Chain A
Amino acid sequence: IVMTQSPATLSVSPGERATLSCRASQIFGSNLAWYQQKPGQAPRLLIYAASIRATGVPARFSGSGSGTEFTLTISSLQPEDFAVYYCQQYTNWPPITFGPGTRVEIK
C-alpha cells in the first residue's frame, strides 16, 4: 500500500487550524497512525486506529477517515506544533509503510 500526503508543506499562523491529508493506494480500513517529528528528535505517536489519541496527546489533535482517505486536524496551532507529520498504515503487513510527510511551518 502506497501512502501519499498533502500538502508537502503547510504554512499556518499560530492559533489557526491545520488540516493534513493522507491517502492510501488501496482500501485498508482504519489501521492508520500519525506521528509528529521535530528536528533532531525521534518521531512521536499522536494518533492510532485513525482517530484514537495516544496517551498525553493534547485534545487539539484529532484524526479521522477510513478506507483510503485520512485527515489529521490540529484545531489551534501552538508554537510547539510546528514539525513534520507522517502517516503510517499497518494493515496486512509486511510491509509497514509511511507517507512522505507534511511539514507544518510558521506563516
Chain B
Amino acid sequence: QVQLVQSGAEVQKPGASVKVSCRVSGSTLSELSIHWVRQAPGKGLEWMGGLDPENGERIYAQPLQYRFTMTEDTSTDTAFMELTSLRSEDTAMYFCAIAHSVEAPYITQWGQGTLVTVSA
C-alpha cells in the first residue's frame, strides 16, 4: 500500500520561507501525480498545485504561483513544497496527496499533514 510520510511541524516568521517534505513508500515517486493541498485552521481545503508525472510539468494555483514551488528527489522518492514570503494567512496544515491520474485528479491518498505556523 502506498503511504506518504510528511516532515514535522514548522514555525516560521513572516517573510521567511518553509520547505516541507513528503516521502513516498510502497511506490515510486516518478509514477505518481503528487499534489499539495492546504487547510487553514477551522477552514476548508485549498488546492495549491500538482505534478504531471508523464512530462514533469508542475501546475500551480494562480494565487500562489509566484511563492510556491514543488520539487522532487526521485532518488529518495521524496516530494517537496516550498512557500516563500510567508504571511500570517499561510498558517495552515499542508497535505501532500496522490491524485488518481492527470486526467482525473481526485485524491486517493493523503499524507498525515504538516502544520506550518507563521508568527512573529
Of B50, B61, B106, B110, the contact of A88 (CB 8 Å cutoff): B106
CB distance from A66 to the nearest CB of B (A): 15
B100 at the interface (CB under 8 A from A): yes
Measured CA separation A93–B106 after assembly (Å): 11
A94 touches B108 (CB 8 A): no
A86 touches B104 (CB 8 A): no
Q: Mark B86-120, 1 if CB is under 8 A from A, else 0.
A: 00000000010100100011111011110000000
Known: A96-B47, A98-B44. A43 touches B106 (CB 8 A): no
Measured CA separation A86–B37 after assembly (Å): 13
**Main DSSP-derived SS at the B contact region:** strand
Residue numbers in B under 8 Å from A99 (CB-CB)? 44
Residue of B nearest to A88 (CB): B106
Of A42, A49, A94, A101, the contact of B61 (CB 8 Å cutoff): A94
Measured CA separation A97–B100 after assembly (Å): 16
B111 touches A90 (CB 8 A): no
> Which residue of A42, A43, A86, A95 has the most chain B CB atoms within 10 A of its CB atom?
A42
Residue numbers in A under 8 Å from B113 (CB-CB)? 42
Q: Mark A55-89, 1 if CB is under 8 A from B, else 0.
A: 00000000000000000000000000000001010
A98 touches B45 (CB 8 A): yes
A49 touches B45 (CB 8 A): no
Of B61, B107, B112, the contact of A95 (CB 8 Å cutoff): B61
Besides the contacts A42-B97, A44-B110, A86-B44, what 4 more A-B pairs have beta carbons closer than 8 Å?
A: A45-B107, A94-B47, A94-B59, A95-B61
10 interchain residue pairs of minimum CB distance: A42-B110, A33-B106, A96-B47, A98-B45, A48-B106, A100-B44, A90-B105, A101-B44, A94-B59, A95-B61
